[in-house]
Structure 1
Amino acid sequence: MFLSDELYGQYNIDQVLVELIKTKPIQRLKKIHQAGATFLVDQHFNGTRYGHSIGVMLLIKRLGGSVKEQIAGLLHDVSHTAFSHVIDFVFDLSEENYHETIFEKVILDSEIPSILEKYHIDIKEIFDIDKWEILEKELPKLCADRIDYTLRDMHTYFGTPKNEIEAFLNSLIIVNGEVCVNSIEMAEWFTKIYYKLAIDYFLGPISIYSYDSLAKIIKLALQKEVINLNDLLLDDMQFMKLMQKSNDKEILELINSLYEKVELEENDQDYDIHRKGKRRIIDVPVSLDGKTVLQSSLLSDNIAKMNKIAIEKSEKGTFVKIKR
């Protein structure tokens, strides 16, 4: 089966992947917004976890990853709850990893294990995320997950040109098990757009406001037993409708206020919300000779400066003033 993607083009994928894509958990991701709660405030931010999951799978294939690693890439976000990371705000999880705690259960409770068994693939191997060198790496390194959400979100939301994205993709190489770029120029380019996303957008007023607002609604709905944690595995709109059907006056008022137009500004002297997000610092690995891997911040003063600014912003957090 040939599969087309906005960023990576057309690829012929293996039959096991075709069958996995058709499963309910993967199809559900079509209605889970990558931008989470921000989509409710501005529907311009309409990318989905499905698009990202397909993208990670294809990027792994492009970089020479095995079919098993492509499967791990396809499945890596399958346990994201409604509105993605909003549940991390509900429980104040600084690592934003609630979906990882339920990952295995979501898969085991689905038709996915039987498909993997049919193709003689050990599900325990798929669960061993640390095994996959392309899919996932701890910050500040590059990996398929981090590359795809950066490129996809920046292209979809902020218009990063496809020719620049293709130039970056062509610079990617695997050296000693690490995803690297082959030039300082490409390292600087990626660092710049990564921080536009991870700092300017993820820690921007609209993201902080929308996540804080929806998290308060969900926390209240859980306290009032209007919803339970299992309901978070509905899709975004099913989940919102469930809370609205409760007819709880306090919850309905908060939901309605979330849809109201507001003016937001950063103001660390007079603010309504202060939030520190997950610390997202990147130091793109560079290999100029295809053998030695170096941190880009050691090769580029521009990257070192960008990293310093990003660290300062992450530690300070964002102070948001709401004007209705």
Structure 2
Amino acid sequence: MIVDEIYGEFELEPVLQDLIHSSPVQRLKGIHQGGASYLVNRAWNVTRFEHSVGVMLLIRRLKGSVEEQIAGLLHDVSHTAFSHVIDFVLDKESEDFHEEIFEETLVNSEIPSLLESYGYSIEQVIKGNYPLLEQPLPLLCADRVDYTLRDLYRYGYITRDEVDSFVSSLCVVNDVICIEGMKQAEWFVKSYYKEVQDFFMDPLNVYGYDRLIQLLREALYLQVITKEDFLLQDEEVLAKVRTSESPELLKRYLEITSTVVLQENDKDYDIHLKGKPRLIDPTVIVKGQPYVSSEISNAINEMNTRAEHRARKGSYIKVKQKTRL
């Protein structure tokens, strides 16, 4: 039995139970979904483990195969410490470093032998086509839906009733996750932009990202950490920084954990951070027929236009004041 705060209680097959308890999946308990977020606000604490289990369970609710549930559970095992922060540290504009090392990370773990003991193969996970798990933007997929609902619910942006109502509206048509009803589609698009823009581009979040990127770049340069250390957990990497003899690194670390006063200001700024645009335009079912939601909803079309403009502009932050915690 597994209990999830978003999807409820489930009985799982033994292969899924054992995968959850495997070292690569358990490691994700120490990888925070928001990267630097938890360092500047301890309440921003969703982990890749919770998300990975959630993706598996959402695929299960949508009647996906056990193979696709396995793929959902394992899709983030190669995420590095601090998640997408490392893409900025390594100048990966496509933000896909974890995908580059996915196969190597899986193959060199206990996962292949565990899968084989239940009659599955690692090739199925790596090479398989899993349309419920992953779809290109702007379509819905289990990965995208789960991190939106999980973060926003945990952080108090959306209610339990809203989550339940939305999850109940999901269906699958031609292997694509769709939303039944325009009201729910508009709700999700609005919620999604709360996640990828209001939350990720929150000034405090941007500040944490910027300072952690600088810290980790400096730690790499000073050889206090190595690129391989990014396959440790967040706190294991930070422990190497804290126990180093570098005054510069300790100063940078204390900057992240200080109280700051921040202001959005695109004329006089200390930090400018941009990520790749993440626009959403889900398929909606209206009177039994599928539609691209923006083609029949002015509200969604307007939300997407505003979101694209904001994403391309990025976030400009002025650091007004810093105080040691």
TM-score range, shorter chain: over 0.9
Give the stretch that moved more between structures: 201-210 or 110-119.
201-210
Shift of 1:158: 2.7
- Give the equivalent residue in structure 2 for 1:65: 64
- Give the equivalent residue in structure 2 for 1:215: 213
Q: Does 1:107 align with 2:106?
A: yes
What CA distance in whole angstroms lies between the structure 1 residues aligned with 2:127 and 2:305?
33
Report matched runs for 1:291-302 at 5 Å.
Answer: 292-302=289-299
What CA distance in whole angstroms lies between the structure 2 residues aligned with 1:106 and 1:256?
32
Any conservation in 2 of the 1:89–1:212 contact (CA below 8 Å)? no
Any conservation in 1 of the 2:275–2:311 contact (CA below 8 Å)? yes
- Give the equivalent residue in structure 2 for 1:160: 158
Any conservation in 1 of the 2:107–2:122 contact (CA below 8 Å)? no
Q: 1:257 aligns with which of 248, 255, 258?
A: 255
Shift of 1:201: 1.3
Any conservation in 2 of the 1:33–1:47 contact (CA below 8 Å)? yes
- SS for the counterpart of 2:2 is strand
Aligned residues: 321
Shift of 1:51: 0.5
Report matched runs for 1:1-324 at 5 Å.
Answer: 2-128=1-127, 131-290=129-288, 292-324=289-321
What CA distance in whole angstroms lies between the structure 1 residues aligned with 2:6 and 2:257?
32
What CA distance in whole angstroms lies between the structure 1 residues aligned with 2:171 and 2:219?
47
Any conservation in 2 of the 1:203–1:277 contact (CA below 8 Å)? no
TM-score normalized with structure 2 length: 0.97
What CA distance in whole angstroms lies between the structure 2 residues aligned with 1:210 and 1:313?
19
Deviations 1:54-75 (A, max 9, x none): 0000000000000000000000
Any conservation in 1 of the 2:111–2:122 contact (CA below 8 Å)? no
What CA distance in whole angstroms lies between the structure 2 residues aligned with 1:265 and 1:95?
28
Give 1:310's aligned amino acid.
Answer: A
Give 2:132's aligned amino acid.
Answer: I
Give 2:8's aligned amino acid.
Answer: G
| Long gaps (5+) in structure 2 | none
Any conservation in 1 of the 2:200–2:206 contact (CA below 8 Å)? yes
- SS for the counterpart of 1:246 is coil
Any conservation in 2 of the 1:263–1:322 contact (CA below 8 Å)? yes
What CA distance in whole angstroms lies between the structure 2 residues aligned with 1:229 and 1:37?
18
RMSD of equivalent CA atoms: 1.1
Shift of 1:92: 2.4
Any conservation in 2 of the 1:175–1:287 contact (CA below 8 Å)? no
What CA distance in whole angstroms lies between the structure 2 residues aligned with 1:187 and 1:320?
32
